[in-house]
Amino acid sequence: MENPLLAAFDTKFELPPFKKIQSDHYVIAIEKALNEAKDEIAKIIKNSEKPTFTNTIEALEKSGEKLQRNSSILFNLNSAETSDELQKIAQEISPKLAAFNSEVKQNEKLFERVKEIFRQKESLDLSGEQKKLLHDTYFDFVRRGVELEGSKKERFKEISIALSKLSLKFSENALAESNAFEMVITNETDLAGLPDDVKGRAKELAMQKGNENTWIFTLQAPSYIPFMEYADNRSLREEMYKAYMTKCFKGDDRDNQEVILKTIRLKAELASLLGYKTFAHYVLEQRMAESPDKVRTFLDDLLRKSLPKAKEEVEEIKEFIKSEGEDIELQRWDWSYYSEKLRKEKYALDDELVKPYFKLENVIAGVFTTAEKLYGISFRPNDDLEVYHEDVKAYEVLNESGDVVSVFLADFFPREGKRDGAWMTSYRSQRYDGNSRVIPQVSIVCNFTPSSSTHPSLLKFNEVKTLFHEFGHALHGMLADTHYQSLSGTSVYWDFVELPSQIMENWCYEKECLDLFARHYETGELIPEDLIDRIKKSSTYHEAFATVRQLSFGLLDMAWHSLTLEEANATSDVSDFEENAFSSTDLFPKVEGTNMSVQFSHIFAGGYAAGYYSYKWAEVLDADAFSLFKERGVFDRQTATAFKEHILSKGGTEHPMTLYKKFRGQEPTPDALLKRAGLV
């Protein structure tokens, strides 16, 4: 079969021809694209003309287009629809890409051309976006080690390659561990407390695996979370919890402890080579937060305000357990179970009461209508568009004039080949080719509760929020309108990237929004107003505990990435290190043999290293921004248009605080967040 990755895509909207792509196509196509990219770089270097913005900066921006296209397909599918074969290919390709990036960014002749233009930046007639591209290009070379000498430059390249391999290894181990565990229940009495739809899916999974008269539960979120919330059998909850929290921590070939230690030592060494005290200093130089000290001050301030209330919430659960006539010590596998029971008692509310109003198809229609009312876009399903799995739904995104502004792919259900969690990604970012806007190809990938033979896919309220969250990221990509791809959509400072996603969650609590889609899947009844009120009132239920939990992850991340080279080399025990990092936030007895770091994919296999704090940082932004919508109306088109023009469409073309102030008229304050969280 002809290799489809070698040619221009002849599909509608130039989507990847997923159905034609075979695993053995990737290596050949990416290596050929790699050689083409090298030729394009060589042409820039050998250009005898005086360096200009066009022949150097823009030429660099446009180089490697096919390489980026093909590698994005590989790595996106390695997360969403992987296999052993695809993982091996990713392991083979990843270091080659890392080596190429280092070669380009460490090329002194190329940097001389960039530097010459950078020196003249004030005298050149450049637009604001062009100035930002020039600034980013110049400092990308510096931060990739172009000014290092001799062996240091070669060492930087070696570290970059090694880190790319370790990141993939970490992710592969975590996925394999998640897939390896199954709890097979043979006694129906052990299912006590579990909702019928949860039991139904467990039964169907068992039957698919040829296990008659049994129920199978896994570590995938739609199975694990309701089990921990509803299963009356405490010993089984303990078994599930320990299975989840011992992933990659068993001393076998899927153990991630050594991967972590190698990673943090290499990151510390990389930062040291460039003259930074720690990897966190290196990363945060290009963040709104600017420095580790500012991040720690931010996290510590929130911790100081939330920890006392979180401790009260834990004590409240302990008292509730006593009132239930039970004499047990509160453990981690008890928290979700008793928290859910108390929530039902306090607010006459639980997920089983809410889920019938959140049929997945209705929620999808609701988030589409929300986007239409805010930003004037609509979504047209197109089953003829190329997708990579039968579960994936494809849509054309149209503006009010009927023009297609983006392609949107939605992948909602768990599979063995899909990693945990939820994320947004792109197969192609938006840019301009001359005066023509090249439309983005945006995808969201989730792991929602699937349908069963007795129930459609009914979402928990947290899953509804997750869909709105990831859709916010998708809007950032779909509504992008920048000239250059590297500044488009979500290509922004990492502690700004969560603003578009987190602000979208706010609409889930608004009656005006819920009335658009929240209807009972059997009766068609609109969600009752008193139920909306209970959802709102319960929104701050155990919010302090949730805040402390999130802060603990941010502090753990900063602890790992704030090690000097000497400290990193001296660190040898992942468990002890984590225990120390968690000491100020721990609210439960320690559970021996469990560990968070070894499965913390955000920071060891994703883009959140020294950046996990950004979720809370962006909450300050989103609460402050949404307060303007609350003031003017949650569907006020003028406010939405300003958010679209100054935030969603602008990508990384300006400093994020500049963009935020253009929208809001002022810098954000934490007041709205603290009020929303019930902490003031």
Q: How far is CA 399 from CA 248, 367, 484, 639, in A?
A: 46, 16, 21, 18
Q: Are 289 and 561 in contact (CB under 8 A)?
A: no
Other C-beta atoms lying within 10 Å of the C-beta of residue 189 = 8
Residue indicated by tokens 């001296």? 570
Task: Write the secondary structure of 305-349 as one string of H (helix), E (strand) and C (coil).
Answer: HHHHHHHHHHHHHHHHHHHCCCCCCCCHHHHHHHHHHHHHHHHCC
Kindly tell me the burial class for residue 511, based on how many C-beta atoms sit within 10 Å of its own C-beta (0-12, 13-18, 19 or more). middle
Q: Are 305 and 317 in contact (CB under 8 A)?
A: no
Nearest residue to 178 via CA among 446, 391, 390, 415: 415
Q: How far is CA 315 from CA 188, 329, 552, 674, in A?
A: 33, 11, 19, 22
> In which element (H, E) is residue 575 found?
helix 574-581
Kindly tell me the burial class for residue 170, based on how many C-beta atoms sit within 10 Å of its own C-beta (0-12, 13-18, 19 or more). buried
Nearest residue to 272 via CA among 285, 261, 281, 263: 281
Say which residues have a Cβ less than 8 Å from residue 88's Cβ, sequence separation at least 6.
none
Q: Are 423 and 387 in contact (CB under 8 A)?
A: no
Q: Are 484 and 61 in contact (CB under 8 A)?
A: yes
Cα of 143 vs its chain's centroid, Å = 24
Catalytic residue list contains 529: no
Q: Are 322 and 309 in contact (CB under 8 A)?
A: no
Nearest residue to 374 via CA among 493, 491, 516: 516
Q: Which amino acid is at 192?
A: A
How far, in Å, CA of 140 to CA of 105, rounded? Answer: 7
Beta strands in 383-495 (DSSP E): 393-398, 404-411, 423-428, 431-433, 436-438, 441-445
How far, in Å, CA of 643 to CA of 507, rounded? Answer: 15
Q: Would you tell me the crossing angle of helices 221-230 and 234-245 to the nearest 10 degrees?
A: 140
Task: Write the secondary structure of 106-143 as one string of H (helix), E (strand) and C (coil).
Answer: CCHHHHHHHHHHHHCCCCCCCCHHHHHHHHHHHHHHHH
Q: How far is CA 671 from CA 13, 66, 139, 497, 621, in A?
A: 45, 47, 35, 21, 10
Q: Which of 386, 470, 510, 578 is catalytic?
A: 470
Which residues are designated catalytic?
470
